[in-house]
Amino acid sequence: MTLSIDLTGKVAVVTGGSRGLGLAISEGLARAGATVAIASRKLDACNAVVQELAANGARASAHAFDAGHWSDCDRLFNEVNERWGGAQILVNNAGKSPLAPSSVETTEALFDKIIAINLRAVFRLCALFGAHMYERDGGAIVNISSTGSLRPDPTFAPYAAAKAGVNTLTETFAQEFAPKVRVNTVMPGPFHTDATQAWSRSEGFTRQASRVLPLGRAGDPPEIVGAVLYLVSELASFTTGACLAVDGGHRIGGRARSA
């Protein structure tokens, strides 16, 4: 086995792939040679990423996708099959963590939305793409969870519960689609993204990070890419059902908000 990652000839689907961690993952997969299907709610943003990747010699496609809708999962699966003949890699990255003032003030609609986006969509896409991979030549699925699934906080309880469910889905699908499809989880800790920088770059977080994160800072999106590339490549041929934390050592102790 060579210590290199070459995804030439592979088709990768990345949900939430037009911004933040998803954008970094999409760019990393493209650099490794994969054709990338970019899926997110804003089609214009997806098209902009496709143009960027194409300018660097990569093949890509844009797909409007709302993870809160079961039917969008089915449509994305069908579009990828029609455009590229299927996928060998799926990265379930789309997620959202809107906060309520308190648990008692969390509405049914907000709770259902958080579960739908962060958990239900992962289930449906894993089922669709995983079954298709299993019927053909196999593949790899990476679910993006959160270290919040291990260290929940009352301020984001529904989100943490949904991400804990993602960890469980990883283990169950790793069994269901074995041995042809490997399914793993990456659990980011605190990362700087356009959605989180209001708190991740705040003075308060910087002080906290210096106490509870051995690396003393939040991560930058490109720092998630190596973990994903490893898990979708043949370097991880004996790795399935695993949950890999990419969190600056957060799991060692202390508390800090997670991605």
Write out the chain's pLDDT in tens, 259 residues: 456 799 999 999 999 999 999 999 999 999 999 999 999 999 999 999 999 999 999 999 999 999 999 999 999 999 999 999 999 999 999 998 888 889 999 999 999 999 999 999 999 999 999 999 999 999 999 999 999 899 888 888 999 999 999 999 999 999 999 999 999 999 998 887 776 665 555 556 556 666 677 777 778 999 999 999 999 999 999 999 999 999 888 754 445 555 5
pLDDT of residue 151: 86
Would the pTM of this model clear 0.85, i.e. be above it?
yes
Active site residue 134: no
Closest CA to 134 of 68, 187, 65, 87: 87
Closest CA to 187 of 231, 224, 234: 224
CB 15 within 8 A of CB 67: yes
Strand pairing category for 243-246 and 11-15? unpaired
Closest CA to 45 of 20, 16, 18: 18
Q: Which of 77, 84, 129, 159 is catalytic?
A: 159
pLDDT of residue 210: 60
- The DSSP result for 93-154, as a single string, is --------SSSTT--HHHHHHHHIIIIIHHHHHHHHHHHHHHHTT-EEEEEE--GGGTS--G
pLDDT of residue 73: 98
CB 91 within 8 A of CB 67: no
C-alpha 40 chain-centroid distance: 12
- Domains of the chain in start order, with CATH, are 11-242 (3.40.50.720)
pLDDT of residue 190: 84
pLDDT of residue 111: 95
**Residues in the chain, total:** 259
Cα 258 to Cα 51: distance, rounded to the nearest angstrom: 31
Cα 121 to Cα 69: distance, rounded to the nearest angstrom: 8
pLDDT of residue 155: 84
Residues 6+ apart with CB under 8 A from 70: 116, 120, 121, 124
pLDDT of residue 86: 98
pLDDT of residue 213: 76
* SS percent in the chain: helix, strand, coil, step 5: 50, 15, 35
pLDDT of residue 13: 98
pLDDT of residue 254: 46
